[in-house]
Structure 1
Amino acid sequence: TALRTGVTLLLIAITWAQNPKQRLLPPKPSKTQCCQEVRSLKVQVANLTSLVEELNRKQETDLMNVVRQIMELDQLNRQQEARVTEAESKYSEINNRVEIMQLQTLQSATQTSSDAIYDCASLYTRNYRISGEYKLPKDDFLGTPELNVYCDMETKGGGWTVIQRRKIGLTSFNRDWKQYKHGFGAIRGDFWLGNEHIFRLTRQPSVLRIELEDWQGETRYINSYKLFIANYSGNAGDSLRYHNNTNFSTMNKDNDKCVDDCAALRKGGYWYNCCTDSNLNGVFYRYGEHSRNSDGITWYGWHGSNYSLKKVEMKLRPVEFHP
């Protein structure tokens, strides 16, 4: 028996020695183990997919929040511009209080043609030298009513009566004939003085000065004899000459030289020809963007027909004025 057991063990040892690879191979995984690994991978893929979807949703939410913040900032910017205008108004009122009191005293005196107050240039010659709002008295000699005006007493010697301003964008200039005749807007903000008042100011030969500013802060200016342009000077290109010797048109009174209704197309009252090389009473587009239509505050000689300017001022003073 002992001999047989020894022989058996020897045979097993010989067999094991002849097949060493069999002892190195790992056991084959079972089907159950493979299914578990596949399920685990599927779970991981599902988790990653869910995470990507969540990140996409968060990105969309963040984008919407950014857009909302931009809109809120834009609205806040408009409100701040309105506050700045109001602050400028109060500051100017304080600075001009003494001058206005003196002017009111002057209004009570009997006037003749030699001492009549025609405009801001007349005030300048009477030593009113601070820019701001003034009241031109009623003048029986001229047949003109009392009129509030804004005087620029600083630019190029002063004496300018401002007849138009665009800088805030809250006042529509797409108005009818009656409104353009009598004027509209706020004298310290955006306004049109009124055609009948502009006529009052231009009874004597006058110089028209136009000051422009784009959204990059660059400025230009134009000087010419009122609208019947005789001479021109400036650095913005002569985009006013095309409007020389033309009548004023509004949405309900078409006086242009074109088959088209220029006032309706350009959405403002202006001296339209057929139609424009400039459109200073057009639509106020923020940041110069108005590529769809040529109805913005345009000056073709500077930025072309598809750029709306940020600021515009039109002002008058007599040709004979000397500061």
Structure 2
Amino acid sequence: MEGLPGWSELMLALLLICSVQTQKSGPVHTGGPPDCSYIRTFSPTGASGVYNIQPEGFTYSFQAYCEMGGNGIWTVIQKRTGGAVAFDREWAAYKNGFGFASWDHWLGLEKISAMTKDKSKRWKLRVDLWDFEGGSAYAEYEDFRVGDESTNYRLSVGRYSGTAGDAIRGAYPGIDQNGFGFSTLDHDNDGCDPCILFGDIYVASCTDYDRGGWWYNTCTSANLNGDWHPEGDNIGWFSGLHWPTWKGRAPYSARATRMMITPMLPYQKI
């Protein structure tokens, strides 16, 4: 039949697409699903790796690392394992993202905002921390959202659970980062002016002290985007990969960090 050659070519193209979808990394679908939680819909045997995703309303697809875990499928929004990728960057870099999705990177505030703005979904943030002594800890926050640029990508988190402590709200009153906009070296949105460190040190903004972009209120709480420090030289620095409710009062810079998000079940009143 005259239609058979065209049909055969279509089937071959579909088989090639399926072959790409089952690889550990690489795009799984033209355009991509809206976030990593949909990956198994497109690729039932897909493993953890880099895939193309495209949130609803977003104008283009982009690469993200999808972590297939026992407690869900997560979209990684930040990863640190060393100092090769610099995180002391300006607003445009944090807005659009930088680094490598398969390695150390910041996914981008615009992309995170696009994923979490859908009010029909609830989102969970998970923070994983690894130290230089072989230990690890985690923090999870329900109802995670990031506003759009008009809000300076304002952070919103709900109930905390985990083993690392609630460093976003702080180890003591007055340093709650929930509800604050994002700050970078050239875009100061922190909650202090001037900012006081250790009772007698004044700085103009938290990024002068913590370096990397973050949702600062004051300058002595969580920040996982500061300078990375190697083993033996990772304690006592102003700037670092800090989660102060985890390791006590002395500034401890983590060996590695990861931040990732996944949709929760729709909110139900009890």
Following the alignment from structure 2 to structure 1, what is the Cα–Cα distance between the partners of residues 244 and 214? 15
The CA distance in 2 between the partners of 1:316 and 1:258, in whole Å, is: 29
Q: Is 1:161 matched up with 2:75?
A: yes
Counterpart contact for 1:246–1:272, Cα < 8 Å: yes
Deviations 1:7-65 (A, max 9, x none): xxxxxxxxxxxxxxxxxxxxxxxxxxxxxxxxxxxxxxxxxxxxxxxxxxxxxxxxxxx
Q: Which runs of 5+ in 1 are unaligned?
A: 1-95, 109-115
- The equivalent residue for 2:167 is 239
Which of 268, 286, 295 aligns to 2:230? It is 286
Q: Which residue of 2 aligns with 1:319?
A: 264
Q: Which residue of 1 aligns with 2:128?
A: 211
Q: CA deviation at 1:128?
A: 5.0
Aligned residue runs from structure 1 range 1-323, under 5 A: 97-99=20-22, 106-107=29-30, 117-126=33-42, 127-137=44-54, 142-157=57-72, 159-204=73-118, 205-225=122-142, 226=144, 227-241=155-169, 242-259=176-193, 260=195, 261-287=205-231, 289-304=233-248, 305-320=250-265
The verdict on how the C-alpha distance between 1:152 and 1:105 changes in structure 2, with shifts beyond 3 A counting, is closer
Distance 1:291 1:222, change over 3 A: closer
Structure showing the higher helix proportion among its residues: 1
Question: By percentage of residues, which structure has more strand?
Answer: 2
1:46 aligned partner: none
Q: Which moved more, 1:170-179 or 1:285-294?
A: 285-294
Aligned residue for 1:243, secondary structure, equals coil
Structure 1 residue identity aligned to 2:65: Y
Verify the 8 A CA contact 2:58 2:114 in the aligned structure 1.
no
Q: Which residue of 2 aligns with 1:5?
A: none
TM (norm. structure 1) is 0.62
RMSD (Å), alpha carbons: 2.5
CA distance in 1, matches of 2:243, 2:99: 22
Is the alpha carbon distance of 1:186 and 1:231 closer, same or farther for their aligned partners in structure 2, counting shifts above 3 Å?
same
Query: What CA distance in whole angstroms lies between the structure 2 residues aligned with 1:288 and 1:191?
Result: 24
Please give the per-residue CA displacement for 1:188-243, whole angstroms capped at 9, x wherever unaligned: 11100010011112123210000000001101011103241210100011111221
3-state secondary structure, aligned to 1:298: coil
Give the conservation status (yes or no) of the 8 Å contact 1:136–1:148: yes
* 4+ aligned runs moved over 4 Å, structure 1: 103-106
Q: Distance in 2 between matches of 1:272 and 1:214?
A: 23
- Please tell me whether Structure 1 or Structure 2 has the larger radius of gyration of its CA atoms: 1
CA, structure 1 residues 288+125, in 2 after alignment: closer, same or farther (shift >3 Å)? farther
- 1:253–1:155: structure 2 CA closer, same or farther, 3 Å change rule? farther
Percent identical: 35
Look up the SS of the partner of 2:215 in the other structure.
coil
1:186 Cα offset (Å)? 1.2
Q: Which residue identity does 2:162 align to in structure 1?
A: G
Distance 2:135 2:236 in 1: 24
Distance 1:285 1:231, change over 3 A: same
Aligned length: 216
Higher relative contact order (CA 8 A, sep 6+): 2
Please give the secondary structure, in 2, of the residue aligned with 1:179: helix
Q: Is the contact made by 2:181 and 2:215 (CA closer than 8 Å) also made in structure 1?
A: yes
Change (3 A) 1:279 1:288: farther
8 Å Cα contact 2:168-2:222 kept in structure 1: yes
Contact kept? 1:165, 1:189, Cα under 8 Å: yes
Measured in 1, the distance between the counterparts of 2:229 and 2:222 equals 15
